[in-house]
Amino acid sequence: MKVLVIGSGGREHVLTWKISQSPLVEKIYCAPGNGGMSEIAECVDISANDIEALAQFAKKNDIGLTVVGPEGPLVEGIVDVFEEKGLKVFGPSKLAAQLEGSKVFSKEFMFRNNIQTAPFITFEDIEDAKDFLENARFPIVVKADGLAAGKGVMICNDKEAAVKAVDDIMKDKIFNEAGEKIVIEECLIGEEISILAISDGNDSVLLASSQDHKRIFDDDMGPNTGGMGAYSPAPIVTNFLMKEIEACVIEPTIRGMRAEGIPFKGVLYAGLMVTEEGPVVLEYNVRFGDPEAQAVLPRMKNDIVALMLASCDGTIANIALNWDSRDCVCVVMSAGGYPGKYENGFEIKGIDEAQKYGDTVVFHAGTKKTGGSLVTCGGRVLGVTCLGQGIEKAIDNAYKAVEAIKFDHCFFRRDIGAKAIRKIKI
């Protein structure tokens, strides 16, 4: 069959790479794709948000399966449009995508369905929010309601910081219409993990655990980003904890969405805080995490296309997942200045050399080909991903590969996976 992958980031590159390994696939298109995806698929100059043009392309080119990478088109209802045209598409409906598209919706859904989350209150009026802060206990978390590219969560240690966060989101609209409403919630203490599940609306299968690194600097300092690296599996996720997450988070979410008349198909991402009381949901996403996908999918032995088709067709209960026993680490190389202002257009060298270190694949996030050269074209530029027998070997392979790659003003964290090593040595 022919497959269309929508998106242009590192997540979409690893999806395209994994899809290319399927015997079910004869050709892959990517819209719009990037410099790395163009090496294994045909890139099409259609924006990921141009839903009607994408549907027309899929219809015209007899696409057997469309895979939607980013959250934007899902929240805008791309799955509904494709299904109305008789096109098979992997992902949740517009209503189901509210789990990510609206923090208010997701928090209220969790409250209705007794899914453990941080105590919260929602606001539509900026003065009401500020009045609440007068007597709030700190630290607290202020979240924009809508999509904010992973940057709409602000941890505030005092009232001054919280008031600024509220002003930034609701008054100055730094996240545009995503800031029409906000959620203010208790700041939880613990260790964050990411759990991905694939659902067909009735049943689901859980993917291997992973841990993302959201802050820009080492030791989890600085502002939030879209993710500066990830590793899988996360040692903190024991078999018992995974069973608890499945029973207390994933299954109630799928069951609750179905009971509310909004069956959830596609990827359910649960961002969790492991506290002394157990796992607590921080947020839902409705697509593969980025860079979690780069750390998890290289370990998956299954045909990902068969898994996606099972999600579409309601047969996920027939799927058993198999995993490579090795660890996987992804280190994100970003443009200097990200997540703030940064420059583009710098030539990237050394990728071929980097891919000689162990089982290494360099996934492109913000790249494009210009005049025969590969240049930077985004905040997060590359995801250098390595497998290794044990987390320390995977980390060592990853950073050797990173050091081989050069572009002006590049930046990367140097502590990806350090928490895993500390957990193993306890």
- Say whether pLDDT at 15 is over 90: yes
Tell me the domain boundaries of the chain: 2-91, 119-186, 191-318, 327-425
Helix segments in 273-343, DSSP class H: 292-296, 304-313
pTM above 0.85, yes or no: yes
Q: 242-274: per-residue pLDDT in tens?
A: 999 999 999 999 999 999 999 999 999 999 999
Q: Does domain 119-186 have CATH number 3.30.1490.20?
A: yes
Cβ neighbours, 10 Å, residue 139: 15
Q: Could you tell me the pLDDT band of residue 426, with boundaries at 50, 70 and 90?
A: low
Peptide linkage before 119 cis (omega within 30 of 0): no
Pick the CATH number of 191-318 from 3.30.470.20, 3.20.20.60, 3.10.560.10, 3.40.50.150: 3.30.470.20
Q: 141-173: per-residue pLDDT in tens?
A: 999 999 987 778 899 999 999 999 999 999 999
Q: How many whole angstroms separate alpha carbon 222 and alpha carbon 105?
A: 28
Q: Could you tell me the pLDDT band of residue 116, with boundaries at 50, 70 and 90?
A: very high
Pick the CATH number of 327-425 from 3.90.600.10, 3.40.190.10, 3.40.50.620, 3.30.70.360: 3.90.600.10
Cβ contact 182:129 at 8 Å: yes
pLDDT at res. 143: 94
Assigned architecture for domain 2-91:
3-Layer(aba) Sandwich (3.40)
pLDDT at res. 358: 74
- Say whether pLDDT at 281 is over 70: yes
Least confident of 102-111, 143-152, 335-344: 143-152
pLDDT at res. 149: 75
**Which residues 6+ apart lie within 8 Å of 149 measured at CB?**
226
Q: 284-294: per-residue pLDDT in tens?
A: 999 999 999 99
Q: How many whole angstroms separate alpha carbon 367 and alpha carbon 244?
A: 40
Picking from 182, 142, 150, 184, the residue whose alpha carbon sits closest to that of residue 72 is 150
